Chain A
């Protein structure tokens, strides 16, 4: 989303009003996150599969992003079977691996991937300023939008700053070990990172004020709700209702 480079801007998704995409993406994510039935989850996968079939994305970049998400989920595959109560599948000394734990990890994996893929396809095409502008149109509180904007702005900055600091300690011969000196060095690094980020945030807000920023995000693109947006809204609404219906049926 930072540079919007992995979405094909000619895709039909790019022509849908960002407000429609945000509402649809939010509703879909909320429903999928609350699903407990595996058949309902299978049904919810129809959307990400359809989006992937549209080929409006660079797949290698998509899988790179998914690998980061699934890296975190992998931890659940280790811990959930051990901690979730249920029928023992395998036991090693005092550790019990449960069937229900494995099923739960599988469910979370499917749901997370469905939500992430849908979000990447629907929102990854827009620049952040566009999303912030759309959120303003949707009457999301300004404070929340600022918070989101600055998070987006600083995650990249902080990572750059962290790399610079890491290089600066490397060139002075630092190699991490399990000793007090290493812990102290990392504590200093994190501390200075927080201070620098705070200072940077102060300077950026000043730069924005100097350029007439008064709390509203404007964009070069103006949103017009077209006939096609109405059609997409109806299709999206029908899909959400069907998904809800399927959820109730499978329960």
Chain B
């Protein structure tokens, strides 16, 4: 069985003076639920951006679903199978209403209007936030924004989730919804979070990013 994500000897630096990741190796297999831990500024979010092909690496190889990623075209093909939840939901929501935003991904991958709407509605129901359907995205509360942002990526039917601090600004009600979803899902995911209690509830494996390397 090949890993869904495989990083081989990845090195990355924003400036020559400061290396963020150094010869980093990592694998994520189907069904794995992993917590990525590390201090602030250790490069956790950067690592997610690298996996998605949003930042070019200095050296090393990235394999997604067993395929070596070399160009932007390669990433384009596979990144739609990975749902990336950004740290700040405001970066993720840009359409006027919730339903428009959730349907944005399905429309991009070729679903027609009515199909995309159905997918969006089903996703909202699954996350128990259907009542937000016609709300204006920028007027949602922090917790609602987080859940809608999660819906936007789930609507694309991803095989992997990369969740960057999903509990940020989330109230207890929405946190419970999030925990229920992550416990029940069969999707593989990596979570960045500083909330130990949350991590213990939803993940089975923890890895630590320290000094540019992954330590299991």
Contacts and interface: CB of A to CB of B under 8 A. Distances in A.
B156 A212 contact: yes
B156 A127 contact: no
Contacts of B95: 127, 129
A200 B93 CA distance: 12
Contacts of A210: 52, 54, 79-80, 82-84, 153
Contacts of B86: 203, 206-207
A3 B82 CA distance: 31
Interface string A197-218: 0001001101111111110101
B113 A204 contact: no
Given A129-B100, A206-B49, A211 B54 contact: no
Nearest to B136: A3
Interface of B: 49, 52, 54, 76, 79-80, 82-84, 86, 88, 90-92, 94-97, 99-100, 103-105, 107-109, 112-113, 116-117, 136, 138-139, 152-153, 156
Given A210-B79, A210-B84, A218 B107 contact: yes
A214 B109 CA distance: 9
Interface of A: 2-4, 127-129, 153, 156-157, 160, 200, 203-204, 206-214, 216, 218-222
B108 A153 contact: no
A211 B80 contact: yes
6 contacts: A127-B95, A157-B90, A207-B92, A211-B108, A211-B156, A220-B103
Contacts of B105: 211-212
Contact of A222 (B113, B139, B152): B113
A16 to B, nearest CB: 19
A211 B153 contact: yes
Contact of B109 (A156, A160, A203, A212): A212
With most chain B CB atoms within 10 A of its CB, the pick from A203, A204, A211, A212 is: A211
B107 A219 contact: yes
Contact of A218 (B49, B94, B96, B108): B108
B54 A206 contact: yes
B152 to A, nearest CB: 7
Nearest to B156: A211
A129 B96 contact: yes
B56 to A, nearest CB: 13
A127 B54 CA distance: 29
A2 B96 contact: yes
Contact of B76 (A153, A214, A221): A214
Contacts of B99: 220
Contacts of B96: 2-4, 127-129
Contact of B117 (A3, A129, A212, A220): A220
CB-based closest 10 A-B pairs: A212-B108, A218-B107, A211-B105, A203-B91, A127-B96, A212-B80, A207-B92, A210-B84, A206-B54, A212-B109
With most chain B CB atoms within 10 A of its CB, the pick from A3, A204, A209, A220 is: A220
